[in-house]
């Protein structure tokens, strides 16, 4: 079991360096100035597709590869104009590699009954999503398959893929919707408040990773969701 490193991507703006203080589960995990772009925050939407790592948490005992779940997090912004916060990446994240499947089916005990397949094919070794955590396909064929975790799941949409373990020096998104977050989305930040004001609703739920804009003098609070790691 290894501790993971989390990388927080985004931009900081201002005519003086932006100072950030970040706490996770009540622990101060980052405090200091970050690389800052001169000037005011640009109008939204802000494109973070090429954003750098704004700050990171290295070799964190909060995030061993065995951990998955959500810790409360706060990010407070001082000086400068503000920040735009985007993706959160982690090392030791398993990579969805091949053999994707989308199906409709049910599970009783360890028996998966497939009603229909809309994409790909069921294959031994696939990790399934939309069911109990860490459920994989272990044997079977046709419409009847055995899975690794006993459970009762009525007819539902299930996705799956074969994954490969993560490594220390390869980073990927820290969260893909497993386990479900407080808004049932794939955004690593859920239940977001800025200066105590709830953001979703009235904002719609994300369909990916929101860009959260936090002005200087403000604090973002959220649940930071991190999926299971592997090595």
Domain ranges of the chain: 3-93+166-226, 95-164
Q: Which pTM does this prediction carry?
A: 0.78
Rounded Cα gap, residues 60 and 18, in angstroms: 24
What pLDDT score was predicted for residue 96?
A: 64
Per-residue pLDDT, averaged over 212-220, amounts to: 98
Give the tens place of pLDDT for each residue, 75-127.
999 999 999 999 999 999 987 666 889 999 999 999 999 999 998 999 999 98
**Per-residue pLDDT tens over the stretch 64-82:** 999 999 999 999 999 999 9
Which of 2.60.40, 2.60.120, 2.40.30, 3.30.420 is the CATH number of 95-164? 2.40.30
Choose the weakest-confidence range: 124-128, 152-156, 161-165, 169-173: 161-165
């Amino acid at each position: 079991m290894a501790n993971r490193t989390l990388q927080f991507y985004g931009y900081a703006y201002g005519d003086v360096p932006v100072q950030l203080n970040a706490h996770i589960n009540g622990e101060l995990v980052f405090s200091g100035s970050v690389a800052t772009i001169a000037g005011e925050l640009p109008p939204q939407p802000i494109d973070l597709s090429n954003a750098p790592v704004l700050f990171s948490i290295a070799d964190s005992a909060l995030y061993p590869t065995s951990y998955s779940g959500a810790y409360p997090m706060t990010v407070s912004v001082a000086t400068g104009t503000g920040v735009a916060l985007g993706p959160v990446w982690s090392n030791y994240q398993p990579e969805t590699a091949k053999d994707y499947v989308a199906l409709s089916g049910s599970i009783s005990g360890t028996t998966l009954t497939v009603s229909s397949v809309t994409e790909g094919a069921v294959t031994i070794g696939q990790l399934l999503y939309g069911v109990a955590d860490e459920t994989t396909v272990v044997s079977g064929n046709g419409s009847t398959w055995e899975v690794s975790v006993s459970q009762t799941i009525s007819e539902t949409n299930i996705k799956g893929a074969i994954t490969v373990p993560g490594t220390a020096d390869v980073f990927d998104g820290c969260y893909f919707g497993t386990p479900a977050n407080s808004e049932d989305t794939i955004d690593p930040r859920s239940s977001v408040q800025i200066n105590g004001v709830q953001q979703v609703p009235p904002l719609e739920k994300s369909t990916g990773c929101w860009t959260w804009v936090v002005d200087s003098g403000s604090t973002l609070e959220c649940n930071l969701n991190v999926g299971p790691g592997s090595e």
